[in-house]
Chains A and B, each alone.
Chain A
Amino acid sequence: MPGTSTAVDVPPRAAGSAVFLGVRHHSPACARLVGRAIGELRPAYVLVEGPADMNDRLDELLLGHRLPVAVFSHYRDDTRVATSWAPLCDYSPEWVALRAGRASGAEVRFIDLPSWHPAFAERADRHTNRYADAEARYARATERLCAHFAVDSVDALWDGLFEVTDGRDGAGGTDGADGSGSPDGTDSLGAEVDLRARLDAYFELVRGDAEADPGDRAREEYMASWVRAAVARAGERPVLVVTGGFHQPALRALSAREDGRVGTPPWPEVPAPPEGAVGGSFLVPYSFRQLDAFAGYQSGMPSPGYYQRLWEDGPHAAAQGLLRSVAERLRTRGIPASTADLIAARGLAQGLALMRGHAYETRVDVLDGLAGALISDDLEQPLPWTGRGTLGVGAHPVVVEMIAACAGDTEGRLHPDTPLPPLVHDVAEQLARLGLADADGPVRLDLTHADGLTRSQVLHRLRVMGVPGFTRVSGPSDGADPVLTERWEPGSASGREAALIEAGAYGARLDEAASVVLGERAQVAGTDAGPLAGLLFDAVLCGVGPLCDELLETIAAQVGRVPELGPLGEVLTAALGLWRHDRVFGVARGPLLGGVVGGATDRVFWLAEGLHGGPGVDFARLRALAAARDVLLHAPELPSVTREAAVGAAARIGRDPRAPADLRGAAFGLRWALGAPDDPATAVQALAATASDTLGDWLAGLFALAREEVTAETAGDGEPLIDVLDGVVSAMTEGDFLTGLPALRQAFAFFPPRERERIAERLLRRRGKHGSARSLLRTTADPLLLARARALEENVALLLDRHGLGAVR
């Protein structure tokens, strides 16, 4: 092949010097560059940004897995828990460096600090992706670049500048590994020189703007020490250093520095976790779904499926493949996508590529074209690829399919000889220790005993991760459930190990993995209150710990946006019950649980004040307000709504003529319960005079919120409420009474039997009658039936009267 023997490496270099190749993680263009550079340079050493503690086990990486796989690192000590992934796919420059470096006979080393190292601790997210874009952290420079090139996002900018450029034959999957050049070697050589220059300029710009944080500096120092050691050993042959482009300028400077030592510097030591800490790195299977930045959760890169195709077949085929797979997906889902639409989409994409100066359509060109031609509605939210956002709730179905088509559904699989992920061992060890490994009969657990609780937590963690083996047949169903024992049925354990290997990507230990899974479920649940309440209890059942924190934070953020009052009340009741009374799971008074309680309470008032509706009693929303009342009475420090603000809000709800009657009654009761009562007698009389049909609903709300206050009411200034009610009801016409009776009965159902008896006694007394109040409450027939019978008699009497037959009455 012509051209392949020419040195690609432009900068003239002294013998035995290092060649720095700055790459963007997960960039096919950079991967291709790495492959070629290794082919041309035949370096003695290939140094790669990756956890140095994996160096002894690089062979494991090359066993022949189906990518994507990830190097999973975990760490835990008394103060800090951290997990991190370094995902590798076919087009990762790091992966190509590893594979092509080995194939060319070079020594390959990972040269970055281990993931547990404190240098990584400054990243905000505890579950981090080592290969997340460094640019994302230096937004100012990239924003300026985006403005200059008039593009919306750094991904679009990158694609246009580097991925889809001229003079490329495309397919890189085959020649990347063995390092041979493209068929038209000379052209691609020029393009490649050009690409390198542009890459360098780009990373200089990104880096030039911002000061690296101390973590970055520590890592760069460490990487530079590897470079110096390798250069000293390489003799005449070059050393190729493949790192994130962001580190490249600093690394170049640091490596050139003489450290004043004579002779060959030693290989740097791989830091070991401090005394008492546990940490390690393992290979786990990964998936494109996890890698896709649009799916959220972990910062990765967008659209891995598209880039895989770009890597394998080149930009032209990737663009066409994307168009095709979007069309196929839409048609399988029954969303119309006519041929004319697809032609228009293609035309738009090509036009956009031309205008934006792209040699082929980039990912964003194709997506823009499809969006323009296929969506004929107004959108609820901006197209996700115009920023670095995730797909929100209510995204247009066409957009959802487009994003899914970009992501692809490839799942990685480890070679059978790979050592099992630590999770598998951890689970086996825990089950054996707790005597659950080969249970052949039902397991009964007493949750009040530490031993029973520990076992229950392990089984619940397995349950939330969907690992087969045990099924719970009974146990507490929510935080207020007084059931304190659990029964678990053992089932077939087949598939358990496979499930655990797959789940290995979520963590090294069972508790970590379970919390990551719950966290993902919380993301999916969004603002759907039903699943959130379940998740909250699942989190508690699985046991608390630092890893639960993030989940509770997520839930606390989500409850602030739940759209319905009733379901929100359930979350609040569950959270408040746990926060106040839990003695079993040890979460009472937990600050994060308190955050959920506070957020939900604020939201209850927000929703209640905007609620409008017709007649009828909605017990769910009354329970929500009652829960909010309990929070204000027993945990006023949690919500940001103060008692005064709540009283004010309740007054506005009570006055709002369009609020449902039960809610208005509840608002009245809330004010009473919070110690700011209005005169109930006046309120009832006013209501009876204007809208007697809503009286029952209103009373239901009142009794739901202020039952105790009503019962405890002593004859003060005004007439007691019961007496007023008696007067109002007695004064009702027969027809009004019969209409209102079901609602009134419903309202009084809020009183327990004993209190009802006391009310009955009082009514008897008022009428100067003596008798058993209890017998008054225990009728032989359903009162509603009696009422109906009475109505029927009344009708008959009226009919008789009308015909002059009813003389005797």
Chain B
Amino acid sequence: MTAPVTSESAEERLQRPPAEVRYADELAALRAADGDPRPPGWQLSLRAARRFVVGDEQAGVSRKFVGNVSLVERALVTLATNRGLMLVGEPGTAKSLLSELIAAAVSGSSALTVQGGAATTEDQIKYSWNYALLVSEGPSSRSLVPAPMLRGMAEGRIVRFEEITRCPLEVQDCLLSLLSDRVIAVPELDGPQGMVFARQGFNVIATANTRDRGVNEMSAALKRRFNFETVFPIPDFDTELALVEAEATALLRQSGVTAAPRRDVLEVLVGTFRELRGTAGRGERMSAVMSTAEAVSVAHAVGVRGWFLRGEPGGAADVVASLAGTAAKDSPEDLARLRRFLEQEVPRRKGGQWQALHDARHLLAD
């Protein structure tokens, strides 16, 4: 017998605890100070939930989502109505983070999650059976294995449906009756157990990215049961730079790199990402994902290269080398776009690191 581990040390071992654990203190403080009316079934009022997501310096609540406040507001109000919330956007725009934060704020738990994919079945969404019990006892509530939707409805909580558009269309459509009638019928069970009605507080946050399979194929019937919110890449250069700097610094520290990333190098890196993302107006988009998350990982790679290869923070040459592998991936068009950017656009930019980036263009493999 080993000694029982305390919950704290168990958390420490987690790579990434869920939002309700990471921000347990903030949630508790917000709940305690929350004087505003709460929608039925909610753990926090709308305003407190907004503060939890967008932060409130005076109340000591950190800013967790960098983006439009009004988007968060619309998302929260939508969840308080009878429509689901659909977050769409490019990959890496923090859609899943936003849905996790909102679920943690509204229901106190972000654990009820369906991960959509080509192999997702209705069983994983609604319920399935413990077949051993089913064979020995027949259908009963004991042999029923509830899936996130059923649990969310029974407990009155938010259910997250990640990457909904990656599910087959017929599986997506099993949400139709569930979202409009707010009930799941379990025809195998008799009596009142055969109908699970949604309790107050239940709603669905779905996320879909616009790259794999957009929302266009989704049935109109399902579309109208959701309110759509597009999450955009961070519009402001400085905000994105600050975020990349903070995240990359933290990651580098975890990797044992003690040198902080150079700001001028990060500026060039973030500028390159914004340009290749198509936000800077040239209308030239990479087919690979050029999100802030990818920028952070390139910044991480740059720092690791510089530190472990040469014992320095990493420079523009490392940016080129890392971009080739991380951003351009295996698409020759992307590689050509990247090269064209380095050859034609970079020399026009002013600044030493841009020059260094241009000089390092030969590092891009042919």
Q: Which chain A residues have a beta carbon within 8 Å of chain B's beta carbons?
A: 150-152, 156, 338, 340-341, 344, 347-348, 351-352, 354-356, 364, 368-369, 371-373, 375-379, 381-383, 386-387, 527, 560-561, 563, 602, 605-606, 609-610, 612, 640-641, 645, 648-649, 652, 656
A348 & B77 in contact (Cβ 8 Å cutoff): yes
Given contacts A372-B227, A373-B227, A378-B214, contact A352 B74 (CB under 8 A): yes
CB distance from A359 to the nearest CB of B (A): 16
Q: A645 and B343 in contact (CB under 8 A), knowing A151-B69, A378-B214?
A: yes
Closest 5 CB pairs of A and B: A351-B77, A379-B230, A378-B88, A376-B223, A372-B227
Chain A positions within 8 Å of B89 at CB level: 378
Known: A373-B227, A527-B283. 14 other contacts (CB 8 A): A150-B69, A347-B81, A348-B227, A354-B46, A355-B46, A355-B47, A372-B229, A376-B226, A381-B232, A382-B68, A386-B71, A561-B281, A610-B336, A652-B343
Interface contact A606-B340, CB-CB below 8 Å:
yes
A563's closest neighbor in chain B, by CB? B283
16 A-B residue pairs with Cβ-Cβ distance under 8 Å, sorted by A, are A150-B69, A151-B70, A152-B69, A152-B70, A347-B81, A348-B74, A351-B46, A351-B80, A364-B70, A372-B74, A378-B210, A378-B228, A382-B68, A560-B282, A609-B343, A652-B339
- Name the A residues within 8 Å of B81 (CB-CB): 344, 347-348, 351
A386 to chain B: closest residue by CB: B68
| Cβ A377 vs Cβ B77 within 8 A | no
Q: A348-B74, A352-B74, A377-B216 are in contact. Are A610 and B228 (CB under 8 A)?
A: no
Q: Interface code B331-366, partner A: CB below 8 Å = 1, 0 otherwise?
A: 001001101100111011000000000000000000
Shortest distance from the beta carbon of A746 to any chain B beta carbon, whole Å: 28
Q: Which of B213-272 contact A (CB under 8 A)?
A: 214-216, 223-224, 226-230, 232, 235
B34 at interface (Cβ–Cβ under 8 A)? no
Whether the Cβ atoms of B224 and A376 lie closer than 8 Å is: yes
Which chain B residue lies CB-closest to A387? B235
Q: Which of B51, B71, B223, B336 contacts A656 (CB 8 A)?
A: B336
Q: Is B83 a contact of A344 with CB atoms below 8 Å?
A: yes
A352 contact set on B, CB distance < 8 A: 73-74, 77
What residue in chain B is nearest A368 (Cβ atoms)? B74
Q: Which residues of A contact B281 (CB under 8 A)?
A: 561
Please report which residues of chain B, range 260-316, place their CB below 8 angstroms from some CB of chain A when the two chains form the complex.
Answer: 281-284
Q: In the complex, A371 Cα to B215 Cα: how many Å?
A: 16
The answer, yes or no, to whether B50 is at the interface (CB within 8 Å) is yes
Which B residues lie within 8 Å of A612 (CB)?
333
Give, as a whole number of angstroms, the nearest-CB distance from B92 to chain A.
14
In the complex, which residues 58-75 of chain B have their Cβ closer than 8 Å to any Cβ of chain A?
A: 68-71, 73-74
**A355 near B77: Cβ-Cβ < 8 Å:** yes
User: Could you tell me the distance between the alpha carbons of A155 and B327 in the complex, rounded to whole angstroms?
Assistant: 38
Contact A376 B282 (CB under 8 A): no
- Does the CB pair A640–B348 fall under 8 Å? yes
How far, in angstroms, from A667 to B63 measured CA to CA in the complex?
Answer: 52
Interface size on B, residues (CB 8 A): 48
Nearest-neighbour CB distance to chain B for A592, whole angstroms, equals 19
Bound-state CA distance A124–B336 (Å) is 39
Task: Report Cα–Cα, A640/B54, bound state, in Å.
Answer: 43
Complex Cα spacing A606 to B73, Å: 41
Check if B232 sits within 8 Å of A382, measured CB to CB.
yes
Question: Chain B nearest CB: distance from A66 CB in Å?
Answer: 35
Option from A348, A377, A561 in Cβ contact (under 8 Å) with B283: A561
Task: List chain A residues, Cβ under 8 A from B344.
Answer: 602, 605-606, 609, 641, 645, 649
Which residues of the partner chain A approach B47 to less than 8 Å between Cβ atoms? 355
Residue of B nearest to A609 (CB): B340
Whether A376 lies near B215 (C-beta < 8 A) is yes
Contacting residues, chain B, for A347 (C-beta < 8 A): 81
Q: Is B113 an interface residue (CB 8 A)?
A: no
Contacting pair B73 A356 (CB below 8 A):
yes
- CB-defined contacts of B68 to chain A, threshold 8 Å: 152, 382, 386
A605 / chain B contacts, CB cutoff of 8 Å: 344
When chains A and B are docked, how far (Å) is the Cα of A602 from the Cα of B345?
9
Is B203 among interface residues, defined by CB-CB distance under 8 A?
A: no
Report A231 CB to chain B, min CB distance, Å: 42
Which residue of the partner chain B has the closest CB to A352? B77
In the bound complex, how far is the Cα of B70 from the Cα of A364, in angstroms? Answer: 9
Chain B's nearest CB lies how many Å from the CB of A302?
Answer: 15
Q: Which of B78, B343, B345 is in CB contact (< 8 Å) with A372? A: B78
> Bound state CA distance, A648 and B232, in angstroms?
36
CB within 8 Å for A376 and B283 given contacts A355-B76, A640-B348: no
By the criterion CB–CB under 8 Å, are B223 and A382 in contact?
Answer: no
Closest Cβ of chain B: how far from A160's Cβ, in Å?
Answer: 11
Q: With a CB–CB cut-off of 8 A, which chain B residues contact A376?
A: 86, 215, 223-224, 226, 228
A residues less than 8 Å from B73 (CB atoms): 352, 355-356, 368
A339 to chain B, nearest CB (A): 12
- Whether A377 contacts B228 by the Cβ 8 Å rule is yes
Complex Cα distance A379/B87, Å?
11
Question: Which residues does chain A contribute within 8 Å of B336, judged by CB atoms?
Answer: 609-610, 652, 656
Complex interface residues of chain B between 181 and 227 (CB less than 8 A to chain A): 208, 210, 214-216, 223-224, 226-227
Q: Tell me which of B54, B78, B228, B282 contacts A561 (CB under 8 A).
A: B282
Q: Which residue of A lies closest to B366 (CB)?
A: A655
Min CB gap B91→A, angstroms: 12
Residues of chain B with a CB closer than 8 A to A640's CB: 347-348
Distance of B255 from chain A, by nearest CB (Å): 33
Complex formed: what's the CA distance from A371 to B223 in Å?
Answer: 14
- In the bound complex, CA of A558 to CA of B347 (Å): 21
Would B215 and A386 count as touching, CB distance under 8 A? no
Residues in B with CB closer than 8 Å to A373 are 83, 227
Kindly list chain A residues whose C-beta atoms are within 8 Å of the C-beta of B80. Answer: 351
Q: Please, which residues of chain A bring their CB within 8 A of the CB of B70?
A: 151-152, 156, 364, 368, 383, 386
A residues in contact with B228, CB < 8 Å: 372, 375-378
A645 near B347: Cβ-Cβ < 8 Å: yes
Is the Cβ of A377 less than 8 Å from the Cβ of B215? yes
Instruction: A386 to B230: give the CA distance in the assembly, Å.
Output: 13
The smallest beta-carbon distance between A436 and chain B, in angstroms, is 43
User: Quick one: which of A355, A371, A561, A610 has the most chain B CB within 10 A?
Assistant: A355
Q: Roughly how many angstroms separate A152 CA and B66 CA in the complex, as a whole number? A: 12
Distance between Cα atoms of A341 and B47 in the complex (Å): 25
Nearest CB in chain A: distance from B304 CB, A: 31
Q: Cβ of A355 and Cβ of B50 under 8 Å apart?
A: yes
CB atoms of B69 and A340 under 8 A apart:
no
A344 to B74, CA, bound (A): 12
List, in ascending order, chain B residues with CB within 8 A of A344's CB.
81, 83, 227
Which chain A positions have C-beta within 8 A of B46?
A: 351, 354-355
Contacts of A381 in B (CB 8 A): 232
Q: Shortest distance in angstroms between B132's beta carbon and chain A's nearest beta carbon?
A: 43
For B45, the closest partner residue in chain A by CB is: A355
| Identity of the chain A residue whose Cβ is nearest the Cβ of B46 in the assembled complex | A355
- Per the bound structure, the CA–CA distance linking A648 and B361 in Å amounts to 13
- Measured in the bound complex, the distance between the Cα atoms of B83 and A386 in whole Å is 23
With beta carbons under 8 angstroms apart, the residue of B74, B215, B284 that contacts A378 is B215
Q: Which residues of A contact B74 (CB under 8 A)?
A: 348, 352, 368-369, 371-372
A605-B333 Cα distance, complex, nearest whole Å? 16
**B224 lies within 8 A of A340 (CB):** yes
Q: Looking at the assembled complex, report how far the CB atom of A643 sits from the nearest CB atom of chain B, in whole angstroms.
A: 13
- Which residues of B have CB within 8 Å of A648? 343
- How far is A152 from B67 in the complex, measured between Cα atoms in Å? 9
Q: Which residues of B contact A383 (CB under 8 A)?
A: 70
Enumerate chain B residues within 8 angstroms of A561, measured Cβ to Cβ: 281-283
Rounded to whole angstroms, the CA-CA distance of A352 and B78 in the bound complex is 9
Bound Cα distance from A561 to B224, whole angstroms: 36
B254 CB → nearest A CB, Å: 30
Q: Considering the complex, give the chain B residue whose CB is closest to the CB of A389.
A: B235
CB pair A378–B54 under 8 Å, yes or no, is no
Among A356, A373, A376, the most chain B Cβ lie within 10 Å of the Cβ of: A376
Least CB separation from A605: chain B residue = B344
> Which residues of the other chain, B, contact A656 by a CB distance below 8 angstroms?
336
**Shortest Cβ distance from residue B235 to the other chain A in the assembled complex, whole angstroms:** 7
